[in-house]
Structure 1
Amino acid sequence: MPFSDENHPLWEVKSLKRALHAAGVALWAWTLETDAFAMDEQAFILWGLPPTDKVTFEDLSSRIHPADRDRVRAAFTATRALVGAYEIDFRILLDQEIRWISARGLGNDEGVHRGQMSGVFLDVTGRKQAEEGHELLAGEMSHRVKNLLAIAAGLTSLTSRSATSVEEMARELIQRLTALGRAHDLVRPLDASQGKAALLGDLIAVLLAPYDDSGAFSGRVRVAVPRMGIGEQSATTLALAIHELATNSLKYGALSVASGMLDISGSSTDDEVCMVWTERGGPAVESKGREGYGTRLLKRSVAGQLGGSIETDWSDDGIIVTLKMNAHNLAT
């Protein structure tokens, strides 16, 4: 019978191997007595190892992320006591790259044959990255919702100080909330051909307009920054940063009291844009302890999307926040 015959056993084995390779499934066998591993070609590629006849668990352990190494060793040792199928997810390090591997097999000696346990390795990096992205998004959404509630409560308190009637308070509060909506719209491009979302000063002024009293203390928010256009992506990131700083000020800083003043100044070079957020006249400030989610998110956004840094000076007169941003990043 010719080998090309589809009924030939070797043809079926070849087809099975192609199917496993297409699915990214790597095969392994672990000899319990000698601690030796046998793996197929796909497994060696997955672990970034050259093909060899002799691989031990320790050889693989050297590539497992240090934080997962003991857990994986304990999990593999415990698999013989498990009933049914098991699955272990862990990280491995290939140079500077982190890859997620899922090891699967049968426990309770069901998968043991001639002293060997067998199973498969799967590259689940994409799934893990998606899960981390979803968790980050959920955390951001939760934080933003809390911030919006805090902003609404703060604006209500702010408006009540200058309003003389319920009708006036409702009108001013609606105007401030509407201004926040305009600020949200401002991060969209005004001119697709220019690729700019807004002028830096306009974006900051519109974002902070709802926090500026229209009564006796009007004009307490002052903005003086370089006249320059910013890109859509950086405008969104900067808007989130300004919202975070304004929310914190509304909760604890200068914007939380009628006498507080906020000054935003800036300077620029060909390579860098510097913006200084200065609060005065607010309640006494204390140096921060443990960073909250919003602060970590703010630092990550400024460092990541804007290619810059953020420094906080907890002075006795009021907080001073210095944002340094890459000029090229800000324009994109």
Structure 2
Amino acid sequence: MAEGPELTGEGWTLQNFTGAIHRGGVGLWAWSPTRRLAQLDGLCREFWGTDATVVPIDALFARVHPEDRAAMMREWMASADDPHAYSFDFRIGEGPDARWISARGVGGETGRVGEWLQAIFLDITERKRAEEAERLLADELAHRVSNMFTVARALTAIVARDAKSAPLFAEDLSRRFGVLHEATTLATRSHRLDQGSVPLRHLAERILTPYRDGAEIRVEIAEGAVVAPNHVNDYAMIFHELATNSAKYGALSGCGTLRLDGRVADGTLRLTWDETGTPSGGPKADGTGFGSRLLRQTIERSLGGRFERVIDAGGLHFEMSVPVE
């Protein structure tokens, strides 16, 4: 007689099923509203960074990202009495390594076994990061479109100051826009892995060339500083963002001095962008807008580096360091 399809014996064990759900990023937990304690299985302990099986829930709350903590605590406590299904998301930890968790279960008596309410934690970190990247891409597109108009106005003003005639003005402006287009094409082609590593000096000069008649620009980047194809767009965005801000507020807006240096030493690429002789009394970027967030996301997350920007009466000093791949 043939065996039926039902799992029996070693195939039907709690250990097998627990292993299966853990491989799917799902951890099991339970908590007691009266004693304010939580029981965590092995994967949940990994989520929370603890070796203890039974943990005070307030100790867990303290590890939740500050921006998520209040809402997460309300949802958690509401599940003690609300008999409906629930799902709420939060982060454990802070910074780029924070882990996104979705708590799911049924509250009230339906989800209770004795004094314990049982539920699951689901690791949704990769999905949340993908959503964040998608939002950043959309914001970046809108930001780039806005910056394109800013660059167009800045370049038009620079060319107009020295234009001798309308034909020469049109020719010069067209040439400058063409250089910007070449820089964008260079980044796009390299990003598609159609080319090898790109010298960082070459990329910087391509992006800065249209501004040379409006300011003194010195680019001194060592030959050993090159960019892998998959990161050309990152550096293009960084230079473009800095140049755009400079065209708005700094040296590139008129008769200032910009010096860009780059060196590789001890496995680290260091770039410095220094502006002096900037217009006095004009507005300055405050470092809180999307452009600053784009720099932070690009340098810290995509390139794994860090940066510092100082703006004062003397001008702007920007420095970044990135590990060399």
Do they superpose with TM above 0.5? yes
Once the two structures are superposed, the pairs formed by residues 58-97 of structure 1 within 5 Å of their partners are 58=58, 60-61=60-61, 63-65=63-65, 68-80=68-80, 82=82, 84-93=84-93
Which one of the candidate residues 237, 245, 262 is aligned to 1:248?
245
Query: Which residue of structure 2 lines up, in the alignment, with residue 312 of structure 1?
Result: 310
Once the two structures are superposed, the pairs formed by residues 8-47 of structure 1 within 5 Å of their partners are 12=12, 14=14, 16-17=17-18, 19-47=20-48
Once the two structures are superposed, the pairs formed by residues 103-252 of structure 1 within 5 Å of their partners are 103-107=103-107, 109-112=109-112, 114-163=114-163, 167-187=167-187, 196-198=197-199, 200=201, 202-213=202-213, 220-223=215-218, 225=220, 228-233=223-228, 236-252=233-249
Percent identity, aligned pairs only, is 31
1:295 aligns with 2:292: yes
SS of aligned partner of 1:122: strand
Query: Which residue of structure 2 lines up, in the alignment, with residue 321 of structure 1?
Result: 317
1:86 shift after superposition: 0.8
Aligned partners of 1:296, 1:76: CA distance in 2, in Å?
A: 31
Residues 255 and 82 (structure 1), Cα distance of their counterparts in 2 relative to 1, 3 Å cut: same
Query: Which residue of structure 1 lines up, in the alignment, with residue 259 of structure 2?
Result: 264
SS of aligned partner of 2:138: helix
Query: Which residue of structure 1 lines up, in the alignment, with residue 101 of structure 2?
Result: 101
1:122 shift after superposition: 1.3
Give structure 2 stretches of 5+ with no counterpart: none
Aligned partners of 2:260, 2:93: CA distance in 1, in Å?
A: 44
Using the size of structure 2 for normalisation, the TM-score is 0.72
Aligned partners of 2:278, 2:45: CA distance in 1, in Å?
A: 64
CA contact (8 A) 1:41 1:51 kept: no
Larger Rg: 1 or 2?
1
SS of aligned partner of 2:288: coil
Aligned partners of 1:67, 1:109: CA distance in 2, in Å?
A: 30
Residues 224 and 141 (structure 1), Cα distance of their counterparts in 2 relative to 1, 3 Å cut: closer
Aligned partners of 1:173, 1:105: CA distance in 2, in Å?
A: 62
Give structure 1 stretches of 5+ with no counterpart: none
Aligned partners of 1:151, 1:204: CA distance in 2, in Å?
A: 16
SS of aligned partner of 1:291: coil
Letter in 1 for 2:179: A
Letter in 1 for 2:146: K
Task: Single out whichever of 172-181 and 272-281 deviates more from structure 2.
Answer: 272-281
CA RMSD of aligned residues (A): 4.2
Using the size of structure 1 for normalisation, the TM-score is 0.71
Residues 5 and 122 (structure 1), Cα distance of their counterparts in 2 relative to 1, 3 Å cut: same
Cα distance per residue 1:222-256 (max 9 Å; x no partner): 42525524312465444333322321232233433
Aligned partners of 1:313, 1:221: CA distance in 2, in Å?
A: 19
Aligned partners of 2:38, 2:311: CA distance in 1, in Å?
A: 56
